[in-house]
Amino acid sequence: MSYLKKDSDKKTLAQEHKDYLGLDIPKDYFINSKKNILKNISKAEGEVKPIRQFKSAYFYPIAASLLLALGLTFWIQDNKSVTPIEFNKMKMTQFSPENNESLVASLFVDESDMDNFLDAYVMNEIILETAIEEYNLDAIFINSFFVEDSLIDKYFDENIIESMLL
Amino acid sequence: MIDESKLIEDLKNPALKNKAFTTLLDLYQERLYWHIRKMVVTHENADDVLQNTFIRVFRSIKTFKEKSTLLTWMYRIAYNESLRYLEKNNKISHLSMDEIELKNQDVLTQDIYFDADAVQQKLHKVVEQLSDKQGMVFKMKYFDDLSFKQIAAISDVSENTLKSSYYTAVKLIEEKMLAS
């Protein structure tokens, strides 16, 4: 059979390449190459084992945890689902630029939710904003101690304009 | 005399795999080396690709479905490994096809394991000038003595296309060799 070559044939093969193509190889190349290949294969075998161990030991618990987390996420989302109309209302009352005007925002709120809406609006828009403005003004005055007298007018003009108007 | 199907069976058996693999190396190492050497040009490159080829054979022998002979299957792996190696090297150096041809000729003449006379050098130069398909089929048919059926299984190209490419290649080589 053609795939079974004897040593004498192998010499002929190398000789053929040398004679016809001028291709040569180092002395004892195939003996040394065989040793290297066998050495590399044992290394490669050693590298494969930890992956198999990891797969069997950790793969299924990790996969199960991920599935559980995913399932819970969808379940929670289903329980808190909102209709598109309600969602639009929420969007318009909470995130639209017009929500500074309580009158406009309140048009999108049901009568039954009005009390809650007003409480939330007063808390978010009036009390918190006032607190932030006060904090900003305090900061301007404290910082003014560190500004030279000749620059104090310019400092107040810039910061107060920025804080109050912008 | 070794039975190929018994060898494959042993290669797939974890207890006998290492011993069978040593036999596999004895049988095919040199044939594959010369096949690879003609594709990647230098001895150093061929040595790298040969190592990679046998590692891949060792890792994927379980998936070998015996639709072709073991030798053809291994030739296919060696062929793909050589292509992968050439692609990787040419990508790194960003060369055009003409530049690759010139580079291969330069690399070949600089290889310390290349010792050709004027006619042999001329033959290499002419073979390098063939198209990829013509060069591939000429090397496998003329130098490796593979049948068109085997080459078709290795390269995924139809037998008729291979025959046509081979005869065109032979004609071109004859013309160019005679012209010089």
Tell me the count of A-B CB pairs closer than 8 A: 91
Contacts of B16 (CB under 8 A, 6+ apart): B10
Query: Has residue B165 got a pLDDT over 70?
Result: yes
Q: For residue B39, what pLDDT is reported?
A: 87
Residue B22 has pLDDT above 90, yes or no: yes
Query: Which residue of B54, B62, B105, B108 to mutate against A (max A Cβ within 10 Å)?
Result: B54
Is some CB atom of chain B closer than 8 A to the CB atom of A10?
yes
Phi-psi region of A75 (alpha: psi -120 to 50; beta: other; left: phi over 0): alpha
Determine, for residues B55 and A37 on separate chains, whether the beta-carbon distance falls below 8 Å.
Answer: yes
Interface test with B, best of A4, A21, A31, A45 (most B CBs within 10 A): A21
Residue at A126: amino acid letter: I
Task: Give the residue carrying structure tokens 């050709």.
Answer: B116
Distance from CA of B95 to the nearest CA of A (A): 25
Looking at the complex, report in whole angstroms how far the Cα of residue A37 sits from the nearest Cα belonging to chain B.
6
How many beta carbons lie within 10 A of that of residue A66, not counting itself? Answer: 10
Side chain identity at residue B107, one-letter code: V
- Chain B residues with CB under 8 Å of A22 CB are 114-117, 120-121, 124
CA distance B174 to B180: 10
Which range, B3-7, B140-144, B168-172, has the best average confidence (pLDDT)? B168-172
Mean pLDDT of B145-154: 90
Q: Residues of chain B whose C-beta is under 8 A from some C-beta in A? A: 1-2, 4, 18, 21-22, 25-31, 33-34, 37-38, 43, 47, 50-51, 54-55, 58-59, 69-71, 113-117, 120-121, 123-124, 143
**Average per-residue pLDDT for chain B:** 85
pLDDT at position A57 is 65
Say whether residue A14 is in contact with chain B using an 8 A CB cutoff: yes
Could you give the CA distance from residue A154 to residue B45 in angstroms, rounded to a whole number? 75
Share of chain B above pLDDT 70, in %: 83
How far apart CA A137 and CA A125 sit, in angstroms, is 18
Instruction: Write down the residue that tokens 């490419």 correspond to.
Output: B165
Least confident of B16-20, B42-46, B92-96, B158-162: B92-96
DSSP, collapsed to helix, strand or coil, labels residue A122 as: helix
Cβ separation of A24 and B114 shorter than 8 Å?
A: yes
Give dist(CA A25, CA B33) in Å, integer: 10
pLDDT for B168: 93
Query: Between these two residues, B2 and B144, which has the higher pLDDT value?
Result: B144
Q: Which chain A residue lies closest to B75 (C-alpha atoms)?
A: A3
Q: Looking at residue A31, what is its pLDDT?
A: 92
pLDDT for res B121? 75
Residue B24, pLDDT score: 93
Is residue B127 pLDDT above 50, yes or no?
A: yes
Which of A2, A4, A36 lies closest to B2 in CB terms? Answer: A4
Nearest residue on chain B to A21, judged by CA atoms?
B120
Q: Which residue has the tokens 């190929």?
A: B4
Confidence of residue B34 (pLDDT cuts 50, 70, 90): very high
**Tens digit of pLDDT per residue, chain A (166 long)?**
333 344 445 557 788 888 777 888 898 899 999 999 999 888 777 665 544 555 556 677 788 888 888 888 777 776 665 555 555 555 555 544 545 555 566 666 666 677 777 777 666 666 777 777 777 777 766 766 666 666 667 666 666 666 555 5
Structure tokens at B25: 């190396």
DSSP characters over chain B: ---HHHHHHHHHSTTTHHHHHHHHHHHHHHHHHHHHHHHH-SHHHHHHHHHHHHHHHHHHGGG---SS-HHHHHHHHHHHHHHHHHHHHHHHHT--HHHHHHHHHHHHHH-TTB---HHHHHHHHHHHTS-HHHHHHHIIIIIS---HHHHHHHHT--HHHHHHHHHHHHHHHHHHHHH-
Of A23, A26, A30, the CB nearest to B30: A30
> pLDDT tier at B94 (50, 70, 90 boundaries)?
low
Return the number of other C-beta atoms located less than 10 Å from residue A71's C-beta: 10
Look-up of token digits 């063939």: B130
